[in-house]
Amino acid sequence: MEIIKKAEELITEPSFEPSSESVLYLTDYSGMTAYDCEFVAVAQTLEIPLLTYDRRLVKAFPQTALPVARWLAG
């Protein structure tokens, strides 16, 4: 159990929660759900692409959302 606990401590990433204001702004801007926009807000804040299979998300956020197939083709 000690080894498992130590391993979990080593691989556990810090969590990040976007602000409600940014999520609501993105929701209003795009018409996408708040659930989807939470992921967009995190990706934008961390300045990383959001890999997704959701075509509507890619269309609404082309600067942030990246189709998985395009990323794999890389």
Say what the pLDDT of residue 5 is.
79
Decide if domain 13-73 falls under CATH 3.40.50.1010. Answer: yes
Q: How many residues does the chain have?
A: 74
Say what the pLDDT of residue 11 is.
76
What tokens does 3 get?
A: 């080894």
Say what the pLDDT of residue 74 is.
79
Say what the pLDDT of residue 23 is.
97
pTM of the model: 0.79
Q: Give Dmax over CA atoms of the chain in angstroms.
A: 48
The domain locations on the chain are 13-73
At 3-62, the pLDDT tens digits run 877 777 777 666 778 999 999 999 999 999 999 999 999 999 989 999 999 999 999 999
